[in-house]
Structure formats: C-alpha cells, structure tokens
C-alpha cells in the first residue's frame, strides 16, 4: 500500500473509500468489500448520516481478526453546525459512537462555513441558520480540534474545502499541525497553486470527487457541465494502459503526491479503483492529463450562498492569502 507522510507523524494510505451518499446498509457492505480488496483508508463524515453503516462494516471486518484497528486509517469530519468550540468534542464523540471506534486517525473541519447548532446534521435553509465566520473564527474551531488530539481521541487533524487564505488564517496559530486539506480535485480542477502552497506548508492534500462526482445529488447539478469520465483525452490514455478513465484519473493523483477517495458502493468499481495504484503514468501522459484543467468545480460552494446567507461565493476558493 502506498502511503503519504503527514505532519502529525502518521501516514495516510493513497487510496481511500469515499462514503458520501450511500445508505447504512450499502456502506456496511462497501466498507467490507473495500477492506477485503486491500483498502485501509475509509473516509466518513457525520453529515453523510451513514457512519453507523461504516462502523458496522469495520466492526465485522475487525471481528474476523485478520486486520487490526491500527492497520486502518479512518477519517470523519466536523459538520458546520458544530464549529462553536464547546460543540466540537460532543460532535466527535457522536461520530465515534456511530462508528463504534474509540479513536479516529483523522478529523477534519468539513467546510469553512458555520451554522447555528440547531441545524444539526442537515443543511441551512435560511439566512439566520448560518453564523458568519466573523462570529466564530476558524482558528477558534481549530483550537478545539487541537484538544481532541491532546485527549487521544484523534491522531491527526485537518480541514476540508479550505482556500490558501483560510489556511493562512490558522497556520500561524496552529499548535498541532494541519495535516490534511481535503478538496475537490480531478483533471478538470488540478488546483496546482493550492497544492503547491499546501506542500510548502507540509499539508497533505486529499482529492475528493476524483472522478468528477458523476452521481452527485440533483440539487448540486450544474447545467451543461462537462463529464470527466467521458473526456476523450482521458479515454485515449486509458486505452494505452488497458485501464479505465477512472483508473487514469486516480493514478494521476497518486503520482502528484495526493491521496484520493473515490466513492463507490459497487464491488467491481471498488476493486477497479484500487487497481489504479498499479498504474505508472509516463511523464508525457501526466502532462497531457494536467493540461485538461479548466478550473471546473463540480461542487462550487454556491449552495452556501442563497436565501439570505451571510456567505458569498467570494468567501471560498481564494487563490492567495
Ligand atoms: P457507484 O457507487 O455506482 O460505483 P466521485 O468519487 O468523483 O464523487 O465519484 C463517485 C461516483 O462515481 C459514484 O457514484 C460511483 O458510482 C461512480 N464510480 C466509482 N468508481 C467508478 C469507476 N471506476 N468508473 C465509473 N464510475 C465510478
């Protein structure tokens, strides 16, 4: 298994199973399938409301005694409703309870967006469901995340969907390093500048939606957007390696030093995606894939900006500090 070192001293496996959108029953089966295929990294989140299923799958695998808890790398994420420092530990404990675990390998602040606690594990519907970051600065939430490491409940901490500007707000204050920034990343959104910034600051980058999120929910669909896995150049490169476009998109990430968490609840595709780690792309093909970048976000953050929200699209994805 290919591993990337983290600033915390731990290591993250290059491929992880993404778990957004599946039901508890689907995830329980998918997690067992993935671990049996060789995955050791599972990416969960409280807001996916399927951590019970993920935990069930992990529990059943561990009960077979072939794999130990310390062989696995399990991530969860702090939802927007729990950014207040006093809410961070209870939110983690709730995920640990659902996952039936006594520690996480990685806990991430899911989005640089805060909700009122009453929203719970849902989506804000109106302006006063949100709390502006001026009222709960990200670095205060970060300090509460650091406490989780001191308590031994989490091995590494990080963030997700953070821009260079948002990372720069925390970096000078971080007593525990930001080990990971998990962001959307694929050949249509290569984010070279963000990755360079992260690597310079010893922040590992994990690519979510590495396949271009082909089955995202209807409310996130953007009219007329391109389909990554049908891209002609990617398909041609795939043929050259007797691989699939999905495998090529993943192999490209591993070669750039990113881990990737493709979602799947289908056993063949779970196995196919794992096979991407065997593919070594030639430098010319790496270049061709990188040239596909069109800065296209399948999840662009606009869903945080409607109905009187205090957040605007300018609050996301800043290219510089
Ligand atoms: P399924 O669960 O039916 O396999 P992303 O990780 O970019 O968000 O993409 C996840 C979506 O892509 C899932 O809905 C998944 O559907 C589908 N998927 C996963 N692996 C592959 C693959 N190798 N080829 C095509 N589609 C895939």
Beta carbons of 55 and 101 less than 8 angstroms apart: yes
Q: How far is the CA of 105 from the centre of ligand 1 (A)?
A: 24
- What pLDDT does 27 receive? 97
Q: Is the CB of 273 under 6 A from ligand 1?
A: yes
The atom number, within ligand 1, closest to the CA of 246 reads: 23
CB atoms within 10 A of CB 47: 20
Q: Which residues of 64-103 are buried (b: 16+ CB within 10 A; e: fewer)?
A: eeeeeeeebbbbbbbbbbbbbeebbbebbebbbebbebeb
Q: Is the CB of 299 under 6 A from ligand 1?
A: no
The atom number, within ligand 1, closest to the CA of 208 reads: 6
- What pLDDT does 223 receive? 82
CA distance 130 to 306: 11
CA nearest ligand 1 atom 25, residue? 246
CA nearest ligand 1 atom 12, residue? 214
Q: How far is the CA of 264 from the centre of ligand 1 (A)?
A: 5
**pTM value surpassing 0.95:** yes
Q: Is the CB of 266 under 6 A from ligand 1?
A: yes
Give me 213's structure tokens.
Answer: 């999120």
Mutating to test ligand 1, I would choose from 42, 225, 263, 273 the residue with most ligand atoms within 8 A of its C-beta, which is 263
Per-residue pLDDT of the chain (321 residues; tens, 9 = 90+): 899 999 999 999 999 999 999 999 999 999 999 999 999 999 999 999 999 999 999 999 999 999 999 999 999 999 999 999 999 999 999 999 999 999 999 999 999 999 999 999 999 999 999 999 999 999 999 999 999 999 999 999 999 999 999 999 999 999 999 999 999 999 999 999 999 999 999 999 999 999 999 988 887 888 889 999 999 999 999 999 999 999 999 999 999 999 999 999 999 999 999 999 999 999 999 999 999 999 999 999 988 998 899 999 999 998 777
Q: How far is the CA of 216 from the centre of ligand 1 (A)?
A: 10
- What pLDDT does 78 receive? 98
CA distance 65 to 55: 16
Catalytic residue among 39, 48, 208, 298: 48
- What pLDDT does 320 receive? 73
CA distance 245 to 295: 19
- What pLDDT does 284 receive? 98
Could you confirm whether 48 is annotated as catalytic? yes
Beta carbons of 163 and 316 less than 8 angstroms apart: yes
Q: Is the CB of 108 under 6 A from ligand 1?
A: no
- Nearest in space to 251 (alpha carbons), one of 226, 227, 282, 214: 282
Q: How far is the CA of 214 from the centre of ligand 1 (A)?
A: 7
CA distance 161 to 141: 15
Give the three-state DSSP class for 204.
strand
Q: How far is the CA of 265 from the centre of ligand 1 (A)?
A: 8
- Nearest in space to 260 (alpha carbons), one of 207, 187, 199: 207
Q: Can you say whether residue 264 is alpha, beta or left, with left for phi > 0 and alpha for psi between -120 and 50 degrees?
A: beta
- What pLDDT does 217 receive? 84
- What pLDDT does 221 receive? 81
Q: Is the CB of 296 under 6 A from ligand 1?
A: no
């Amino acid at each position: 298994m290919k591993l990337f070192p983290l600033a915390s001293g731990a290591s993250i496996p290059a491929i992880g199973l993404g778990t957004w959108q599946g039901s508890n029953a689907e995830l329980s089966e998918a997690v067992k399938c993935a671990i049996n295929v060789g995955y050791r990294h599972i990416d969960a989140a409280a807001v996916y409301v399927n951590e019970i299923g993920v935990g069930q799958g992990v529990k059943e695998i561990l009960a077979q005694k072939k794999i130990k808890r310390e062989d696995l790398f399990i991530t969860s994420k702090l939802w927007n409703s729990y950014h207040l420092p006093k809410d961070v530990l209870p939110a983690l404990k709730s995920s640990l309870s659902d996952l039936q675990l006594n520690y996480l390998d990685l806990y991430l602040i899911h989005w640089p967006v805060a909700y009122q606690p009453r929203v719970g594990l849902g989506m804000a519907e109106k302006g006063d469901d949100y709390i502006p970051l001026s009222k709960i600065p990200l670095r205060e939430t970060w300090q509460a995340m650091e406490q989780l490491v001191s308590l031994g409940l989490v091995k590494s901490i990080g963030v997700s969907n953070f821009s260079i500007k948002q990372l720069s707000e925390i970096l000078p204050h971080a007593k525990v390093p930001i080990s990971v920034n998990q962001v959307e990343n694929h050949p249509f959104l290569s984010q070279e500048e963000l990755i360079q910034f992260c690597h310079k600051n010893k922040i590992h980058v994990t690519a979510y939606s590495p396949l271009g999120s082909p089955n995202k929910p209807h409310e996130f669909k953007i009219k007329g957007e391109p389909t990554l896995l049908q891209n002609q150049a990617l398909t041609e490169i795939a043929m050259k390696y007797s691989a699939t476009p999905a495998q090529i998109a993943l192999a490209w990430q591993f070669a750039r030093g990113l881990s990737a968490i493709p979602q799947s609840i289908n056993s063949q595709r779970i196995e196919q995606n794992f096979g991407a780690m065997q593919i070594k792309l030639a430098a010319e093909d790496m270049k061709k894939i990188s040239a596909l970048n069109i800065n296209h976000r399948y999840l662009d953050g606009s869903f945080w900006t409607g109905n009187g929200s205090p957040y605007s699209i300018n609050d996301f994805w800043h290219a510089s500090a």
